[in-house]
Each structure stands twice: as structure tokens, then as C-alpha cells.
Amino acid sequence: MRMLSAPVLAGAVLASSPALYQGFITRTVPMEDAGSRFAVALVIAWLAMSAVAMLVGEPPKPVPAAEGSSADAAVDAAVDAAPATATVADPAPIADTMPLGEPIGELSAGPSASGGGATQAA
């Protein structure tokens, strides 16, 4: 990566922005100090971005496919052979076989006639 590329310059300006602001706007830091901080930030940003670019690398170049042997032809043939509409199973037979249990009204009526329920003390 080049030292004077846009990403490196933007990173250096961002990293040294407090010193640049104090040097050029508020004049609380000497201009030489702000410039030297920018130069150090430029070198650090260049090294960091060069390391990332080296780790990531360039994207691979696409390999041209030979005529007549592309994978797209196989996909097209499979799509053409597939049925045009899909069928969905009817959920009604499953719902008919599910146990329903006791109705809610009988559960809230209190203890059963056989005396198996708990009684509340008043």
C-alpha cells in the first residue's frame, strides 16, 4: 500500500486530529509539534494498513470455464427437470389423531366425585 494513498492519509488525519486541531485552530500546540505528530501517525497508519493488506491479500482471479462444461449447464438442466409446482401435505389428518384431553370446564369445576382432589381450608 502506498504511503500517500487516501486510506493511509485519512487514518493519519483521524489519529492525529486532536494535535492538528490544537495546532492549527486553537494554537495551543506549536505547529511543528502538530506536524511531527501527523508524520508519526502517517508512518504508523501506513505500517498498519500495509500489514492488513498483506494478510488479506488480493482477491483471486476468476478462472474462465471451458465451453460446454460449465456448472451452470448442469444447474439449468436440473431446474428444467424439476416439477413446476410443489405439493404440500394436508395437515388435517395429523390434527385429527391428536389427543384432546379433558375439557377446560371440567378441570376448573373442583375436586372429582371420587374424592381424589385436594380441598382448600376456609
49-88 pLDDT, tens digit per residue, is: 999 999 998 777 887 766 655 566 666 666 666 666 656 6
Domain that holds residue 43: 6-56
Residue 84 lies in a domain: no
46 part of a folded domain: yes
**Spatial distance between the Cα atoms of 73 and 65, rounded to a whole number of angstroms:** 11
Q: What is the mean pLDDT of the chain?
A: 76
* Amino acid making up residue 80: D
| Residue 35: inside a domain | yes
**Dist CA 34 CA 10 (whole Å):** 16
Work out the end-to-end distance of the chain between its first and last CA atoms, rounded to an integer number of angstroms. 85
- 37 lies in a domain? yes
- 99 residue type, one letter: P
Quote the CA–CA distance of 8 and 50 in Å, as a whole number: 9
Residue 13 lies in a domain: yes
Q: What angle (nearest 5°) sits at the alpha carbon of residue 59, between those of residues 55 and 60?
A: 120
Q: Flag whether the pTM goes above 0.85.
A: no
Q: Which of 12, 75, 22 is nearest to 49 (CA)?
A: 12
The CA radius of gyration of the chain, in Å to the nearest whole number, is: 38
Whole-number Å distance between alpha carbons of 84 and 80: 9
Is residue 37 within 8 Å of 19, Cβ to Cβ? yes
Tell me what pLDDT residue 3 has.
87
Mean pLDDT for the stretch of residues 15-36: 94
Predicted confidence (pLDDT) at residue 105 exceeds the cutoff of 60: no
